[in-house]
Structure 1
Amino acid sequence: MSDILDEIVIEDVVANCPQEFLQYHKCIRDNEENPGKCKDGRMILSTCIREKVPSVKSIMSECSEPMKKYDQCIRDNMGTRTINENCLGFLQDLRKCAELQVKNKNIKPSINGVNLELIKD
């Protein structure tokens, strides 16, 4: 389910924030040596995702507690570079919650409420 979750969210982002997504990734491609130049594009894309992407909005609403715990763990362990060891459990809890949102609400990528079908091989 984890790969499907990632695919659904990415498809949803591309469907609902296409210009922001393309501009940010073009900036990253063009500035491989200094991706910090893309900070503004990252912020614009992040705002679009939070405001317009149904799957992300649902996950952020319903999974706020695991998200807060994971975020706090990252902050607490940033200086010691022990995020992988100490925060993996919190990340797994967050992903489980997100997967439940996608599964239980049958979330699929959509544009303006019109569902898009994922293309499967």
Structure 2
Amino acid sequence: MSDILDEIVIEDVVANCPQEFLQYHKCVRDNEENPGKCQDGRLTLSTCIREKVPSVKSIMNECKDPMKKYDQCVRDNMAKRTINENCLGFLQDLRKCAELQVENKNIKPSINGTALELIKD
């Protein structure tokens, strides 16, 4: 399910923030040697994602607790470079919660891969 979850979220981002997504990725491509030049585009894309992407909004709303735990673990282990060793369980919990949001809302990628549809029974 993880690959499908990633695909759904990415397609949802592209469908709801197309200009921001394209501008940011074009900047990164054009500035491979200095991706820091794309900071403004990254922030613009992040804001759009938080405000306009249904799957992300649902995940952020319903998965606050696992998200906070994973975020805190990353912060606690960043300097020691032990994120992989100590935070994998928190990441798995977050992904499980996110997968449940996608499944419960029946969010599926469209057939053509360019937009998402909310499937209603």
- One fold, TM greater than 0.5? yes
Instruction: Give the gaps of 5 or more residues in structure 1.
Output: 110-116
2:15 aligns with: 15
Matches within 5 A, 1:1-121: 1-108=1-108, 117-119=110-112
SS at match of 1:13: helix
Q: Report % sequence identity.
A: 87
Shift of 1:37: 0.7
SS at match of 1:108: strand
SS at match of 2:108: coil
Shift of 1:105: 1.2
TM-score by length of structure 2 reads 0.90
Shift of 1:104: 1.1
Q: Alignment length, in residue pairs?
A: 113
Instruction: Give the gaps of 5 or more residues in structure 2.
Output: 114-121
Q: Is the 8 A contact 1:12 1:108 kept in 2?
A: no
2:119 aligns with: none
Question: Structure 1, residues 42-94: CA drift from partner, whole Å, max 9, x if none?
Answer: 00000000000000000000000000000000000010000000000000000
In 1: Cα distance, 2:100 partner to 2:12 partner: 17
1:81 partner letter: R
In 2: Cα distance, 1:96 partner to 1:31 partner: 35
1:33 partner letter: E
Shift of 1:119: 3.5
1:99 partner letter: E
1:96 partner letter: K
TM-score by length of structure 1 reads 0.90
In 2: Cα distance, 1:45 partner to 1:8 partner: 17
Shift of 1:108: 3.4
In 2: Cα distance, 1:105 partner to 1:9 partner: 13
Shift of 1:107: 1.8
Q: Is the 8 A contact 1:67 1:94 kept in 2?
A: yes
